[in-house]
Amino acid sequence: MASIPLPPASRPISDQTRVHIDLGERSYDILIGGGLLVADSFAGLPKSSKALIVTNTTVGPLYTAKLRAALAPHHKTVLDIELPDGEQYKDWPALNQIFTRLLEEAADRKTVLYALGGGVIGDMTGFAAACYMRGVPFVQVPTTLLSQVDSSVGGKTAINHPAGKNMIGAFYQPQRVICDLDTLDTLPQNELLAGLAEVIKYGPIADADFLSWLEAHMDKLLARDRAALMHAVKRSCEIKAWVVGQDEKESGLRAILNFGHTFGHAIEAGMGYGQWLHGEAVGCGMVMASDLSARLGLIDEATSLRICALIERTGLPVKGPDLGADRYIELMQVDKKAEGGEIRFVVVGPLGQAGMKPAPDAMVRDVIAAHTR
Ligand code: NAD
Ligand code: GLY
C-alpha cells in the first residue's frame, strides 16, 4: 500500500488562497476563493491576441459575460462557444465543434482556451487544447465542486466512448486553475453532493485526519458554509497536487485517486452516460470499494462502515443499479487500470493509505450483490 508523506493541512489565512502544483516546467497555481472572476486572476498567463471561452448552455448564460470582462485586458478578441450540456455530449461531435470554431476564426497556436464549466467542459476543452495545432495553452475555470476539487487539477483530459468512460484523451496540463467559490452559489444541490463524493475520497486514500474533519463539518458543507467549502476545496487540491506531483502520468501512485471509480465507471457506462452523475456513481463505487477492502482484510468492517456512513449522510445513493454482476464485470474489464483482462481495484488499508489489488471473482460478485438493487 502506498504510504503518503503528505504536507500538513494549512489553514487559509484569507478568503483567497492558492495551491501550487509542482511539475517542473509544467507547474502551475490553483487559485481558490471568492470574487476570482476578475482581471487580476488571469495576469501573467500566456499572451495571445485571441482567446476562446468554451462553456455550455447552462453555465454560459450565468458566467460568460463576467469571464469575458475579466479577460478583456489580456486578449484583443475574446470568443465563446456554448456546447450542449451533459455527460452524453462529452463526445466526438461536441469536441469537433470546438475545432470547427477555432478553424473558422483562424485561431493560431498561441490562442488560449478557457474552460468555463464543470468536469465535462474542463475535460473536453483540455483535450481540444492538447490536439489543436498539436497543443495550445488552456486555463481551467471550474464551476462545480467536483471540478474544483478534482477534474480541473492534474491534466487528465478526455472524451467518452460508448464502450468506455474517458477512454480517448491525453495528459495535458492547464496554465492555471481558477476556483471561484462564488460560482458554487448557483450549483444545484445534487451537483454539490456529487462533488462531495470526490472530496470524501481524499480522506480514506490519503488523509485520515481529513476524513475526521469531514465527519465533523459535513452539515456545514451541505449548507454551503463558505469557510468549510474553502477548507474542503483547498485540502482536496493539496492532496491531489501532491499525488499528481509524484506521478503525473499514473504509472502507479496516481491510480489511488480512482478509489470507487472502477465500480463507478461501470455504473455510468452501464446505465448510459448522463443517467447517473459521475459523483453519484463514484460515491456508490466507494461504498463497494470500501466493502471490498474490508473483505480483503485491509481494513476492519467498522472502518468500511464508517466510510459508507459518511457517504450516506450526504444523501448520495449507496445502492447501485442492478445491471447484473456479469455486466459490471464486463464493463470493469475495460477500465484503464485493468491489465490483461484482470480487474485491479483501488483499495484502502490502513485508513489514509491506498493501493491497487485484484480480487477473487466470487468476492467481487458478493460485493456487487450486497450493494445493488
Ligand atoms: P458537469 O460538468 O456535467 O457539471 C454538472 C452540471 O452542473 C452540468 O449540468 C453543468 O452545466 C452544471 N453547472 C456547472 N457549473 C454550474 C454552476 N456554477 N451553476 C449551475 N450549474 C452549473 O459535471 P461535473 O460533476 O462537474 O464533472 C463530471 C465530469 O468530470 C465527468 O465527465 C468525469 O469523468 C470528469 N472527471 C474528470 C476528472 C479528471 O481528472 N479529469 C476527475 C473527476 C471527474
Ligand atoms: N481523477 C483521477 C485523477 O485525476 O487521476
CA 146 to centroid of ligand 1, rounded, Å = 6
371 is catalytic: no
Q: How far is the CA of 258 from the centre of ligand 2 (A)?
A: 6
Ligand 2 atom nearest to CA at 258? 2
> What pLDDT was estimated at residue 12?
53
Collapsed DSSP state (helix, strand, coil) of residue 327: helix
Closest-CA residue to 31 (of 23, 47, 20):
20
Closest CA to 235 of 84, 12, 40: 12
* Known catalytic residue at 198: yes
- List the chain residues with pLDDT less than 50: 13
Q: Is the CB of residue 336 below 6 angstroms from any atom belonging to ligand 2?
A: no
Note if 265 is an active site residue: yes
pLDDT digits (tens, 9 = 90+) for 104-118: 999 999 999 999 999
Does residue 191 have an active-site annotation?
Answer: no
Ligand at shortest distance from the CA of 279:
1
Give CA torsion, residues 11, 16, 22, 27, to 10 deg. 180
Q: What percent of the chain has pLDDT over 70?
A: 97
Could you tell which of 145, 151, 192 is best to mutate to test the pocket of ligand 1, judged by most ligand atoms within 8 Å of the CB?
151
Amino acid code (one letter) for 173: Q
The three cell numbers of residue 354 are: 491506498
Ligand 2 pocket test: which of 156, 243, 256 has the largest number of ligand atoms within 8 Å of its C-beta?
156
pLDDT in tens, 56-100: 999 999 999 999 999 999 999 999 999 999 999 999 999 999 999
- Of the candidates 191, 258, 268, 306, the residue annotated as catalytic is 258
pLDDT at 189: 97
Residue 32 phi/psi, 5-degree rounding, is: -130, 130
DSSP E strand stretches across the chain: 16-21, 28-33, 50-56, 77-83, 112-117, 138-142, 156-161, 164-171, 177-180, 345-348, 354-357
Give ligand 1 pocket residues (Cβ under 6 A).
Answer: 56, 58-59, 62, 85, 87, 90, 117-121, 123, 143-144, 146-147, 150-151, 154, 156, 166, 183, 186-187, 191, 194, 278-279
Q: What pLDDT is stored for residue 6 in this prediction?
A: 72
